[in-house]
Amino acid sequence: MNAPAVITERPAEGVGLIRINRPEARNALNLEVRRLIGHYLTEMTDDDSVRCIVLTGNDKAFAAGADIKEMANASTIEMLLRGTQKMWRTIYACPKPVIAAVNGFALGGGCELAMTCDIIIAGESAKFGQPEVKIGIIPGGGGTQRFPRTVGKYKAMRYVLTGDLFGAKEAFDMGLVSEIVPDAEVEKRAVVMAAQIAELPPLAIQQTKESVIRGMDASLETGLTLETRTLQMLFASQDQKEGMAAFIEKRKPKFTGR
């Protein structure tokens, strides 16, 4: 019996981990992997015991791109009917923080998968890139959109037009990576950070994420208005009362997500 292409774990309290498990294909994103990532992400979104999610692969590859063998002979209509954009939308719409723990290759769809997450922890030897032009196509999971919005037009163009790869340090310097750690510590660091976030008030965390994401697509004035209204709304939460009371009383707060 073949091992599942995607597996889930609960490495710490409040933390759900989704692991791509196709080592024989360097974790290439075939249709089954995409379906399962979307499925498990939806499950964890609906599970109140999960407050932060880690998405990872193995020590050799986060995800080395789309499964080229699966799409090489596909027609336009076949590509349309596959609905591969559903996974990207599911990740982007997840109200809970998603941390990408990246070791090895994060290329093409793998790089786009990492960029869809909220935080990227990369190993020192990680390699990123959007090499789609080398096989006659373009990035299809946000590489021509999220990449330039993150690092700027000229840096992004340098890589999407050449297909060249770049390392973790350059990714960090460009603002694409949140933190670099030794290769052996990538997953551990991601889980520790996820557990740290999971201890915080869930409503405040979710609203912070939404304010950042929605504000990025709006004018500064609109974004500031959203931020103000969200802050005011959170004063209706039990967690706000508990958090401030605990601060005043110099004790550890107990957040319930209410």
Instruction: Write down the pLDDT at residue 132.
Output: 93
Instruction: Write down the pLDDT at residue 52.
Output: 98
Whether the CB-CB separation of 174 and 151 falls below 8 Å is answered with: yes
170-199 burial, b for 16+ CB within 10 Å, e for fewer? Answer: ebbebebbbebbebeebbebbbebbbebbe
Is the pLDDT score of 240 beyond 90?
yes
Is the pLDDT score of 149 beyond 90?
yes
Nearest to 127 by CA among 184, 168, 170: 168
Instruction: Write down the pLDDT at residue 1.
Output: 63
Residue whose token pair is 């052996």:
184
Structure confidence by residue, pLDDT tens digits, 192-210: 999 999 999 999 999 999 9
Whether the CB-CB separation of 16 and 195 falls below 8 Å is answered with: no
Instruction: Write down the pLDDT at residue 92.
Output: 83
Token representation of residue 1: 């019996």
Instruction: Write down the pLDDT at residue 238.
Output: 94
Structure confidence by residue, pLDDT tens digits, 83-120: 777 777 888 889 999 999 999 999 999 999 999 999 99
Largest pairwise CA distance in the chain: 65
CATH of 6-198, one of 1.10.10.10, 1.10.150.130, 3.40.50.720, 3.90.226.10: 3.90.226.10
Q: Which residues are catalytic?
A: 66, 109, 112, 132
CB within 8 A of 65, min separation 6: which ones? 28, 29, 105, 107, 108, 109, 110, 131
Residue 8 in 3-state DSSP?
strand
- Please state the rounded mean pLDDT for residues 146-160: 95
Token representation of residue 173: 């310097």
Average pLDDT, the chain: 93
Structure confidence by residue, pLDDT tens digits, 40-82: 999 999 999 999 999 999 999 999 987 777 777 888 888 788 7
- Domain-by-domain residue ranges, the chain? 6-198, 202-249
**% of the chain surpassing 90 pLDDT:** 83
Q: What is the CATH number of domain 202-249?
A: 1.10.12.10
* pTM confidence score: 0.93
